[in-house]
Homo-oligomer: A and B are copies of this chain.
């Protein structure tokens, strides 16, 4: 199947008003009228060059987004989100900075999504409208998951999604002919992307593992990968998530065997926590439920949603009668039940946490229950998961985690798998992607080990532009010094990009030592203080137990105001600064804490 896709400007929203502003502070990118004069960015020396950059995913695990540009054509691979770092309190997630694409919306020929995880699809609702709503090309399951995610966002336009599979071939603009390679991952319908360009073949692996016996998915097509390698690959961009892990990734089916053995031993209820997106694992659990004569009670909004979508389109295969509702759950004997839910990362409102907090309307734990954590620990969640396990065993249930028995197979290729991919594809140039800098370096070392020339291995930062051009017959690549902007764009509630570093810094300061508001009321005629200053403290000390400290602070403030020369026109900033410094130092000397001091001067 060859799908030629050459979108017309009018099919993607046409004109947008330039001054449009929204409540959510998303700054829309105005799309210019199509005219020859409106393309000043086409400078002659960038002609016939292929420019590739990752707007995210080279300095973190997450926020994956790759841009390829050749003359008038741009394609994008993935548009993901990143979960916030520990020093970003209150932030929901981070999305890529798309400033580079500003005024280039009319060149975007398509967005290719490799698979349905949030670090690859999560930013679509926020960004696709700003990019002129270009068409999205992706697998069937991923399409379903993207549509579902967009339903949650009012600002997301009606998407234009075309489904592809491993036989699809797309002509996107003049420059790009795109094909797809099936790979394995922890979710079905994962593809690597083969981009045929005027100056060579580029391969982007997406997230992948090599699984010769995957569950509910076809194995990675190694023959075709080898064939493509045989024809010559200019540039490979490959998943680095597990590049520091030695050996081979475990097959999902061998994990299935482990879970099977577990199920045989358990006589009470089985409660399983996993990611709703781990659809291969979920399929295996359905299969084993059937085998062991157990019914499945599904829990968690995302779990229900994903299972429904995947079942509808045939990616999850089970007899609907295996699913039970409340009434049947109550009647079924314990050894006939599997409760499958979310929350193995100890997420605050997920199923498992609600159960142990006794907030679940139907389920509470009891002796005889076995809770299986069937997902690896996301770094940073260790302590909350430990607390969750404590609470579970306190309530009499057993806990089995993959550390104790190998209930977990990761979704990413490990060192030997990564080497295999490179050996098969034999790329001339190589860019490790999808990992922190440390992981990229580890992957780069593997590339050297399999014989890729050291000078052709690029370890790049987010936004750093890699340029390929013909030099005679040969195509030459180089990592340029040029860098597209890649600021953090933070999503917090409805706001996108409106939480600045100042706001974050304030949150951090207040979370460490709290804050204190000092309100001095001044007679504007005499400059004398009226009454005693008001003091409010939050997160600093408990005021009721620290009357003396608060009273001393009050007196200091009063003194500062009084001592201010009334003949000098009262300068608020001066008094405020004096209060801030004086009170700050005083409180530090007394408590060794540094609350944020907020002086307010009111004149009446």
Chain A interface residues (CB < 8 Å from chain B): 23, 25, 59, 85-86, 89-90, 244, 246, 379-380, 382-384, 386-387, 389-390, 392-394, 399, 403-404, 436-438, 441, 492-495, 498-500, 502-504, 506-508, 510-515, 517, 519, 521, 530, 534, 536, 538-542, 545-546, 590-593, 596, 598, 600, 602, 604
Contact = CB atoms under 8 A, between A and B. Distances in A.
Contacts of A383: 85-86, 379-380
A515 B541 contact: no
Contacts of A510: 507, 510-511, 514-515, 538-539
Main secondary structure of the interface of A (DSSP, over half): mixed
A386 B530 contact: no
Given A86-B384, A542-B502, A542-B503, A393 B437 contact: yes
Contact of A382 (B382, B386, B503): B382
Contacts of A438: 386, 389-390, 392-393, 399
A600 to B, nearest CB: 6
A603 to B, nearest CB: 9
| Count of this chain's copies in the oligomeric assembly | 2
A172 to B, nearest CB: 34
B90 A514 contact: yes
B493 A542 contact: no
Nearest to A92: B592
A382 B384 contact: no
B517 A598 contact: yes
Contacts of A384: 86
From A23, A437, A538, A598, residue with most partner B Cβ within 10 Å: A538
A194 to B, nearest CB: 30
A315 B419 CA distance: 47
Given A379-B382, A383-B85, A384-B86, A517 B492 contact: no
Contacts of A541: 495, 498-499, 503
Contact of A494 (B393, B437, B508, B592): B592
Given A399-B438, A498-B546, A530-B604, A538 B393 contact: no
Contact of A437 (B394, B502, B504, B600): B394
A59 B511 CA distance: 25
B539 A506 contact: yes
B507 A514 contact: yes
Given A498-B545, A507-B512, 8 more contacts: A386-B436, A494-B590, A499-B541, A500-B545, A502-B542, A506-B539, A530-B604, A536-B600
